[in-house]
Amino acid sequence: MVFMTSNEKKIKWLGIHDHANYAAKWLDQETPYSWLRVFEKADCIERHAFLREGNLSHKMSGPIRGVNYRFFKEGFESWVEEIEKLSPDVILYNLCWYSDAIKPLVRLKASLPNSIHIIRVHHDVSYLSMQRGFKETVLECDVAIVPTENQAEELRNIGFSGDTHVLPFGINQNEFNIYKKEFKERRIDIISATNTHPARNLPLLNKVYEKLTAKGINVKNVVGLPRTELSELLGDSKIFLLTSMTEASGSRIMLEAIAAGCYPIAFAECRTAKEVLDSHGFGTVINTEIKLKMPQKKVKVPFFAASNISNRIHTMLNELKGFDGSQIRLSDDYFYDNEIEKLLNILRRYG
């Protein structure tokens, strides 16, 4: 599906993101919102960004790096009239709150029938499909962008018949390879970045780390660190352990760990992470038999999981004693610059 316009009409893009962040973060070029970086590069196109801001509603007096920013304190549903007035040719939806998004999206699809409605799926489709409003929202859109081939198949399985593009999320590999130490010289045996979200399995990680520490293994969990400090720690770590049950494109932090030269380990239940490791041809996947119950977001962990995981990691460390880390290299498909260029080309197809 390609949307054509008159040569006399300037094409107009609108991108929306419905999760809240501070205006300063949205405007910061170093913040990895790749679609905003794409909008900044799209010369000869009128570009608008409607964004959620937790504290204020504000319209900038003029464009910043070519993008007309508009911040809204209230949710997506309150933006609809302003979007209708703008009448964009292309709308790129970056959504988190699908149950709130379905009603305004249905209205926009009806009131702007000549617009192309594109959704970028930021998470595992099977996980999102258990959330209220996701399926209905996606099926309203004309085009979908997903992070992996399996996610594209999942979309087709729920009935999506529009154009589908596969585009992994990327990272700035240079930011995470400047502090890399020789693999044998790294002081931290296992590092993770597990927060308190139920699907991240922090209680399980604590049990695993307790067992590994008792064996004299140096472990560390990091959350919310400045980028430079995170890069330094990853570059001083041998193994990165991803404990999530679900991630977008396998998790940016795992990609950053690979760029820093860490050997990656993920749970088989995190299907996008397994896809990323399969595409790289290295890393270890552990079948934990953990169950994630949705929409309650409750995790059921077998009593033997902590012992099994810690034993597998201990064995892996022993196997890596002669490892020099030379095969650990981030695939070009996951470079941030490549993501931006590919997303730009996708959007240009539609207007």
Segment 10-42, tens digit of pLDDT = 899 999 999 999 999 999 988 889 999 999 999
Instruction: Compute the distance between CA of residue 12 and CA of residue 20 in angstroms, rounded to an integer.
Output: 24
Of the candidates 96, 140, 92, which has an alpha carbon nearest to the alpha carbon of residue 119?
Answer: 92
Q: Look up residue 338 and give its two tokens.
A: 């490549």
Domain 12-170+335-348 shares a fold with domain 173-334: yes
The runs of H, that is alpha helices, within 42-189 are 80-86, 98-111, 125-128, 134-140, 149-157, 173-177
pLDDT tens by residue, 319-339 = 999 899 999 999 999 999 999
Positions of the chain with pLDDT lower than 50, given as ranges: 2-7
Q: Where are the domains of the chain?
A: 12-170+335-348, 173-334
CATH architecture of 173-334: 3-Layer(aba) Sandwich (3.40)
Residue 55 to residue 220: CA distance in whole angstroms: 35
Specify the pLDDT at position 2: 45
The C-alpha angle 126, 350, 80, rounded to 5 degrees, equals 70
* Rounded CA separation 246/237 (Å): 23
Contact 96, 120 (CB under 8 A): no
Contact 304, 233 (CB under 8 A): no
Instruction: State the pLDDT at residue 3.
Output: 46
Out of 2.30.30.110, 3.40.50.12160, 3.40.50.720, 3.40.50.2000, the CATH code matching 12-170+335-348 is 3.40.50.2000
Which residues is 20 bridged to in the sheet? 52
